[in-house]
Amino acid sequence: MPSAYSRNENPSHRVQGYILAGLVTAIFLILIGRLYYFQVISGDIYQAHSERNSIRPVTVEAPRGLILDRHGIVLADNRASYTIAAIPIEISDSTIYYLAELTGRDARVLRKKIRDRSLNRFKPLPIQRDASFETVSRVEEHLIDLPGVTVQIEPTRLYTKGGIGGHLLGYVAEVNKAQLVDLKEAGYQSGDLVGKSGVEKAFERYLRGQNGLEYIEVNARGQELGPLEGMSAVLPIPGQNVYLTIDALVQEVAERAMPDSLAGALVAVDPMNGEVLAYVSKPIYDPNLFPTGIPTDIWNAIRDHPLHPLLNRVANGLYPSASTMKIVTAAAGLEVKVIEPLELMQPCVGGFKLGTRWAKCWHRGHGKLSLVDAITNSCDVYFYQLGLRLGLERWGEYARGFGLGSPTGIDIGDEHGGLVPDMTYYDAEKNRAWTPGKMLNLAIGQGELLVTPLQMAVLTAAVANGGTLYRPHVLHEVTSPQGDQVVQGGESIKGQLPIRPETLQLLQEAMIAVVNRGTGVRGRLGYTQVAGKTGTAENPHGEDHSWFIGYASAGQPRIAVAAIIENAPHGMAVPIVRQVIDAYLSPDRTPPTVSLRSIRDNQP
């Protein structure tokens, strides 16, 4: 007899059960097939993916090339230092705050930096360069609680002589967002160091090396387990070495000769080829502060310093040329024949009257003077009259012909062209109306005329060498890390002074007389003849500035120097230039007995 259950069973329910069982069986078969595919057919592929997830590629920063003087003295080197870095994709906010506590950083600033969406999220981002041993010890002690944080040993720029030569060498610092726009194609990324000024910036393409790459094994928490076996690291390639024309001894003498309490600039060049021998801007700053990230308080102190130590006064300091300009005014007068060498102007009685204006001379009265004597004694009255005879346009033509009013073309760039005013400059609507009285000022290097010390050094060199205007350069050569020459620096001629040989000879004679018996007698050296010209630039904001341009030896010039000391007594720049010339030419100096190349060839 059938059971009650059998009597009430619905056939449609039996069919649904069969379908459900089939579906379950099919799903299990699919899962088994997929597992077989992943583990057997594609096992090798996914094993590789798994291994890659436990591998962290770490950039190995390449050392920058060395910067050396003309004799092989190292001016910029590298030293090993600790860098604490964070990998943005791996580090959590809680870890960021813990890291800030351990390193003494501002957590909000740190978080903003790490969370910047423009970063490469997988590349370690330097958080603290040149970290102290104590800080590194604290971080490494807690690395197990800091997933995404690494401690690396990296090369840090070292300027071996501190602030000496700082404005010339420049400095390196982390690339900023604005620079990345232009440098991304060259392979730069956030956190990379780049030259910001001076030689470091101008020759970045040579000094920057090629970074390497190593592979680190990490666990699921992002903690490093060590180098990955079986994957070879890509070694970094150091940057190329840059040899400068600078003479380190002359540079140091110049730096020490110029007072630390005053602002100013000095530049020395070889008049026969334009090589820069010394390049000094005061006050100095220490470029060693920048590669590791300058503390805010120190940055503020430098930025707000009343003497503006970051200003490169050699190439960007703008000054009236003062009486050094009388060389140019004299040359112009001789060339356009508004004066004869032996002609005596209206006598100097302590001043000159033009209309209702009484223009003073610095001296109570020089009497009647010829051109050479007027330069020797720096008589303002003589040059007032000569300036009026010349007029603005003819005077300006020769000023520009002597290289003023435009950049010199120095190979490290970043220089001001100064100002040689012409009639288009004088605009009544801009409160710059022209009057004849302005010519009195311009003729003696005052008024609206503005020059840089670098321009005056190039001008002095041209007078010394017979009339050739060289583009100054600091690059001697670039070599590979192995010492092979890559680039050769060299002389480059910008032009010729627009004057006749007899005019040039008269200027040289006058500059010799300035040092022998005139306003520059403190520039004399017993063993060689120095030629020069003094100047005192009026300063409406304080004490006057002291100028001196000079070269030696007269007749066989080897060095030309221009120096200005701000807010300094008359003639203060003269003995400073003398010390620099003496440092370079002194018979007691023992010159290097080996060439640049033999120095490198004998290096271990």
* 374-415 pLDDT tens trace: 999 999 999 999 999 999 999 999 999 999 999 999 999 999
The one-character DSSP state at 430 is G
pLDDT-derived band of residue 597, with 50, 70 and 90 as boundaries? very low
Res 119 pLDDT > 90: no
pLDDT-derived band of residue 428, with 50, 70 and 90 as boundaries? confident
Alpha helices (H) in 90-224, listed in sequence order: 93-103, 107-114, 133-141, 166-169, 177-183, 198-202, 204-207
Identify whether the C-beta of residue 316 lies closer than 8 Å to the C-beta of residue 452: yes
pLDDT-derived band of residue 225, with 50, 70 and 90 as boundaries? low
Mean pLDDT value across residues 226-244: 85
Query: Quick one: 57-163+210-241 is in which CATH superfamily?
Result: Penicillin-binding protein 2a (Domain 2) (3.90.1310.10)
Mean pLDDT value across residues 280-299: 90
Res 196 pLDDT > 80: yes
The model's pTM: 0.85
- How is the chain split into domains, by residue range? 15-53, 57-163+210-241, 248-300+312-585
Q: Tell the residue number behind the tokens 């006749």, with chain if given.
A: 500
pLDDT-derived band of residue 513, with 50, 70 and 90 as boundaries? very high
Q: What is the pLDDT of residue 10?
A: 64
Q: What is the pLDDT of residue 598?
A: 41
Element (H, E) at 514: helix 501-517
More confident: 561 or 30:
561
The number of residues making up the chain comes to 604
Q: What is the pLDDT of residue 470?
A: 98
pLDDT-derived band of residue 164, with 50, 70 and 90 as boundaries? very high
pLDDT-derived band of residue 253, with 50, 70 and 90 as boundaries? very high
* Architecture of the domain defined by 248-300+312-585: 3-Layer(aba) Sandwich (3.40)
Q: What is the pLDDT of residue 49?
A: 45
DSSP secondary structure of 470-492: EPPB-EEEEE-TTS-EEEE----
Mean pLDDT value across residues 52-72: 84
Res 8 pLDDT > 70: no
> What are the CA-CA distances from residue 314 to residues 91, 224, 416, 575 (Å)?
47, 50, 10, 19
Whole-angstrom distance, CA of residue 330 vs CA of residue 591: 38
* 565-592 pLDDT tens trace: 999 988 999 999 999 999 999 998 875 5
Mean pLDDT value across residues 472-499: 94
